[in-house]
Structure 1
Amino acid sequence: MLIESRRRAYLSAMQVVHWLPRAELPFAAPSRPELLLPLAPLDEPEFEARPAAAAPLPVAPQARSIERPKIEITRPGSIAKPVVKPVEAEEAAPVVRPAPIPPPRFALQLLRAGSCLLLVELATGQPFQSRDPSYLLLKDMLRAAGLPDAPQIIGEPVRWPLLVRGNMDQGPEAARDFVQGFIQARLEETPCTCLWLIGLPALRYAGQAQADAYYQELKVEGLGDAWALPGLELLMDEPQRKADVWQAMRRLMARWKSDE
């Protein structure tokens, strides 16, 4: 006894499309009503007597023209030129534009202590307060250098970028030109014997140098003699750097003490 799914599989294998059982099959699906209707009688086609067509006359055989294939022989000295396909616009390599350089972010404060100017990095971006640890460290450094320990603050802090929005160039070169121009204007008012550059932003955008120039004396065009120092926050985090600052200070101390 076959179930319906297996019965249909056998019929499909025998390519039987329509079939009717002679008796009711167990587990079989109900028959479709349209298959049980009697078939309509077929109409026999009517044939009309037509006169017999004349037999076609024999056609004389024609001679077939045989074409010989053409064989091209390359002459010596002749070189086939390659076909150069013009480059389409789609195949042209896309132009890669350099990514825009984001503007640097820093805050610098200019101070005067005796005959020296100090360009100091503001790590927090806020002006010095009298009880700030970084400001107290700066006062200790000035006392050790033989300079007044109450430096005069000159102007507002220089913060970069200048504008939050806009099309003005605020890249590294623009920041360097602005910082150097700001210091040159102060030097025209009152010259100084040595410019202290304290912190990497001050060294980078005023002295055009990097961290490998710490503790060294620099010659900066338009600004004169400068001294490169680590930032105050870095000196507090790494106290061993203070010994290097003291050794370099002893070599340069005569520069500003001679003008007192």
Structure 2
Amino acid sequence: MISESRRRAFLGAMQITTWLPRTELPFAAPSRPELLHFFEPEAEPTPAIEPRLVPQPTRSEPEPVAPTPVASTSPAADAVRSVMPRVALPEPKKPAVKTREPKTVAAEQKAAPPRFALQLLRAGNVLLLVELPTGESFQSRDPAYILLKDLLRAARLPDKPQQVGDGEPIRWPLLHRGSLDQGAEAARDYVQGVVAAELEDMGCACLWLIGSPALRFAGEVEADACYRELTIEGLGVALTIPGLEQLMEQPGSKAQLWKAMRRSMPRWVIGLGESTSSVHE
């Protein structure tokens, strides 16, 4: 138990001025009898509601009706009206709608940078620039990689293409932030620069462009320009091939690809035969 002085200090801190203990406290001051007496609060008298007198509407005399003016039909008034000129009121002007020029709109709506992933491979004397369907490097059990190996065997090329350089895919955009221009033109220059650097180190008989990003940013053609050869400045002759996923989904496209490959096959088959003969000598 605490002393009376400390107890009152605690109660004062809690802003309690009147209190009664449940049991008798040791060392506590005796309770005052007037605090223990309970007084019932007196009931407040209910105010009497006096009835309000509603005023009765009084009859008022009808207001005099103003006479309506009668139009003058005298010949003199008609003559004056015919002589007076009619004044045309100006029409309200409509607010002018501000139209922006197409150049301004195009500048404001800046196109988002293209996104793609390409893998640069080498199979014999053919260089392959292949679109990665999943954005990651090929795995041995990927359906797209198995189809690519079938295409290489049909073209009489090694069916185990080797990765070029460090083996990392060509990804775009390069940076996710910053002020560097990462538009379509910058992507084209970058892809062509990587392929040109590999051709300087080791040439090739033909360049395979597989997939829409490879056609667009290396061959500068759209996806509909497939199954034919292109001559690209700085890169040489290229064969345009649809994406591997499109070949799997559209079996009929394999027949068109086979016709295009047969037309271009002498390029790498002849080159392969010459290189083999030189090695035996």
TM category, shorter: 0.5 to 0.7
- The 3-state SS of whatever aligns with 1:212 is coil
Counterpart of 1:243 (choices 244, 250, 255) is 255
What SS does the corresponding residue of 2:150 show, helix, strand or coil? helix
Which residue among 150, 165, 168 is the counterpart of 1:140? 150
Give the Å deviation of 1:229.
0.3
SS at match of 1:213: coil
Q: What CA distance in whole angstroms lies between the structure 1 residues aligned with 2:155 and 2:245?
A: 19
State the partner residue of 2:117: 107
Percent identity reads 58
Unaligned runs of 5+ in 1: 16-89
Query: Would you say 1:150 and 2:179 are equivalent positions?
Result: no
Q: Point out the structure with the larger helix share.
A: 2
Q: Give the 3 Å change call, closer, same or farther, for CA 234–12 of structure 1 in structure 2.
A: farther
What secondary structure is seen at the aligned counterpart in 2 of 1:100? coil
Aligned residues: 182
- Superposed, 1:71-86 pairs within 5 Å as none
Moved over 4 A (4+): 10-15, 90-95
Are residues 1:165 and 2:188 paired?
Answer: no
SS of the residue corresponding to residue 210 of structure 1 reads coil
- What's the offset of the Cα at 1:178? 0.2
Counterpart position of 1:179: 191
3-state SS, counterpart of residue 204 of structure 1: helix
Q: Which amino acid aligns with 1:188?
A: E
Give the equivalent residue in structure 2 for 1:123.
Answer: 133
Cα deviation, residue 212, structure 1? 2.3
Aligned to 2:66: none
Give the partner amino acid of 2:162.
Answer: Q
TM-score, length-normalised on structure 2?
0.60
Q: Secondary structure at the match of 2:209?
A: strand
**Using the alignment, how far apart are the partners of 1:14 and 1:185 within structure 2?**
107
TM-score (norm 1): 0.65
State the secondary structure of the residue aligned to 1:166: coil
The separation in 2 between residues aligned to 1:173 and 1:231, in whole angstroms, is 22
Residue 94 (structure 1) shift: 5.8
- Which residue of structure 2 lines up, in the alignment, with residue 189 of structure 1? 201
